[in-house]
Structure 1
Amino acid sequence: MNPLVSFVLPCFNSAEYLQQTIDSIAVQTYTHWECVAIDDGSSDATLAILLAAAERDSRFRVITRENRGLIASLNEGIAAARGEWIARIDADDLCRPERLAVQLGYCAQWQLDVCGSWVGFIGERRGEWHTPVTDAQIRLALLFNTPLAHPSILARTSLLKAHPYPADAPHAEDYALWCQLARQPSVRFGNVPQVLLQYRTHRGQVTQAKKAALLITAQRVREDYAGHALPLALQPLAAEFAKLAEPSRLLNHAEWRWMCDFFRQLLALRPESRGALGEWWLDTLQRSRGVSLLDAPAVLRLALQMPPPQAERPRVLKQAARLVMSDRLWQVLKNG
């Protein structure tokens, strides 16, 4: 009898934290699963750890071969999966014991096809990432960046086999895939509003070279999705929006004002996006330089029209203080 869920666990020189990840999979309260682990040509003890896990527990299956990269490993693992659902996890992250049980129940309750969860950070960073919860919020957030924590994903196997991770989207393969799937109205997204995964951050996780490649790929994906997902009246602005919406880009004052106007136009055309846009205009303000007390009326108008979530109140107050003392003084105090 085939398992209901197949974990897909890509591994490349992952020995340092891999055993902890395996242990977190093994203690799932929902037990009808398998784990397809792909050793992507590792030169450390990764393969030995995986083979030992498979010897202890027959639910672990190991594929080993030469190095082909993450995208190839993900698609190979999905192709080999026997379950109806794919559960993603990386070789340095940890599942909560109730992860599968909660996500399967949530997918059944809301009829979801792709389901992530909130995540907690471990390693060099602390805190939690509270991703958007509903299908509508996630589709809107895809205009800016991925709103789904990749290693927390539970998705229908049939969907991922029909739509493999795109080979031309290195380091942003998940963002590209979600944007591709979001073009289909029948696909439903969601995030469990509960921390079900511990996401490890550590040095060397993403090299500068990979960051550069990710930015290029994400920019292309964002522009393409914006041209599809924005209201028809705003689609001519898709290229400029995609450039300024890049989360790591610092905006000058003119670009900040352009984005303010864009948010107001988007709200007018999509009133249902009011709740989700509050966090995004606040992010944009935080990335903008040269703002001052003269921008306070525009910021107040945005706050009234698109209130940020209550959880963002500390950041709202921080940005309000920044406007009062002017950006130049704020940066001096921040850096000094």
Structure 2
Amino acid sequence: MQPDSQKSFSLPLVSVIIPAYNAESFIEETLKSVLAQTYPAIEVLVVDDGSQDRTAEIVEKISKKYSHVQLVKQQNAGVAAARNLGIQKSRGEYIAPIDADDIWYPENIEKQVQCMLEGGEEVGVVYSWTVDLDEKGWLTGGFRSYRIEGDVYGTLIGHNFIGNASASLIRRSCLEKVGVYDKTLKERNAQGCEDWDLYLRIAEIYQFRAVPEFLIGYRRMYNTMSTNYTTMANSHSLMLQAAKQRHPEIPDFLHRLSTSNFLLYLAHQSSRNGHDRTALFWLFQALKTECISSLFRSGFYRVLGKSLLNLLSQQSRKHQEALDAPVRVEDTPSSDKQMISREVLVKSRRKKIELMVTIGNIFHRSISLLVKRNRTNIDTISQVKISATPPTKAELS
């Protein structure tokens, strides 16, 4: 839809940034979901990152019909550089990234902006809950529903509770203070954690808020960059190294927990792709990093059992089936059927959703107290060292 100039005149502008590389299969559906937003004050910048398919052609066709859709082209430089270029050319007070294969449900931007305005200038990021889609647009039954808010830095070190780059609304002034996405990760053979790295830098200064509704459709893709496990592991490692240099007060065990959680995620992804030996490798790496948390997670044993069984039986592994029968997502993002499918998901998984929210809040409060105590101890030690410094000759005289 075309934005209503009268309605959007007094509203803060939101710049939607879509990096796209060989995205012809999904870019039209993604753009339809963005154009179906109930919030009228948006501009849309699609950054074609040197695609070799029909991505640019599809976007150009849509931009002729919708004047607030703009195509920007660059030579292939990676997702971080594409997002940065879009941000550079945008005008909005808020930045809303979305990947070229994900979707938003109609009220996402409206509710995120409302949450941002209610939170005030101290809030830098607002995020919504996510449901997982497969390549064909079916709800898989997977979801992410944390309500972790406020000062989230320590918790965010432990795990990326936001989950993906398409779920957040970012205040532009934050980027002016902390910088944009780190495009040097690609140069160092490390991609996959650019959004997590940015969230951490923002969390050093600003608070986070959550919209507790499933408003993001995150497409779980396989055999793509997201399954280049070594590259992703390198990205996570470099991100943590930089964070540790900036904040030595964060306990070491939290960095180990973060690494262990991420390696377990890589093991799960490997298993879903049928790479059973690779899955076992990442499981072992997770154990080496931090064994206690790994051994207490049911997912560890699930991946271990399936990978061993597949290797022993010498059978080709198929993709893991959803726990519940999937519900077909209609092509039109605002369709009533899609709303019903999400309602079915919420009803069928209500207890699990509540459990995830509760566990997330307990983890958040525990980590916040631990970081605060550790920071106090470091400050105390520093003060003792300063007071114990022998006086200089000038001071004695």
Normalization by structure 2: what TM-score?
A: 0.60
Q: How does 1:1-336 map to 2 (within 5 A)?
A: 4-111=13-120, 112-123=123-134, 125-136=140-151, 138-148=152-162, 149-162=164-177, 163-169=179-185, 170-184=191-205, 187-206=206-225, 208=227, 210-225=228-243, 231=249, 234-235=251-252, 240-241=256-257, 243-248=259-264, 250=283, 251-252=286-287, 255-257=290-292, 283=297, 286-287=299-300, 310-311=354-355
CA distance in 2: counterparts of 1:253 and 1:281, whole angstroms: 11
CA distance in 1: counterparts of 2:143 and 2:255, whole angstroms: 31
Question: Which amino acid in 1 is paired with 2:234?
Answer: I
* Match in the other structure for 1:271: none
| Paired residue secondary structure (1:204) | coil
Pairwise CA distance, 1:312: 5.0
| Paired residue secondary structure (1:7) | strand
Pairwise CA distance, 1:145: 2.6
Does the C-alpha gap of structure 1 residues 131 and 211 become closer, same or farther in structure 2, counting only changes over 3 Å?
A: farther
Cα deviation, 1:233-266, whole Å, max 9, x if unaligned, reads x35x566555445442535499434x5xxxxxxx
Please provide the CA RMSD for this pair. 3.1
Count matched residues: 268
- Which stretches of structure 1, 4 residues or longer, exceed 6 Å deviation after superposition? none
| Paired residue secondary structure (2:216) | strand
Pairwise CA distance, 1:104: 0.5
| Paired residue secondary structure (1:194) | strand
Pairwise CA distance, 1:228: 5.3
Does the C-alpha gap of structure 1 residues 245 and 225 become closer, same or farther in structure 2, counting only changes over 3 Å?
A: farther
Does the C-alpha gap of structure 1 residues 241 and 80 become closer, same or farther in structure 2, counting only changes over 3 Å?
A: same
Greater shift in the superposed pair: 63-72 or 138-147 = 138-147
Identical columns (%): 24
Which gives a bigger RCO, structure 1 or 2 (Cα 8 Å, sep 6+)? 2
| Paired residue secondary structure (1:16) | coil
Question: Which amino acid in 2 is paired with 1:218?
Answer: H
- Unpaired stretches in structure 1, ≥5 consecutive residues: 260-279, 290-307, 316-336
Pairwise CA distance, 1:150: 1.1
Does the C-alpha gap of structure 1 residues 52 and 109 become closer, same or farther in structure 2, counting only changes over 3 Å?
A: same
If you compute each CA radius of gyration, which structure gives the higher value, 1 or 2? 2
CA distance in 1: counterparts of 2:60 and 2:246, whole angstroms: 45
Cα deviation, 1:296-326, whole Å, max 9, x if unaligned, reads xxxxxxxxxxxx985259x9xxxxxxxxxxx
Pairwise CA distance, 1:13: 0.7
Pairwise CA distance, 1:135: 2.3
Pairwise CA distance, 1:188: 1.4
CA distance in 2: counterparts of 1:67 and 1:247, whole angstroms: 28
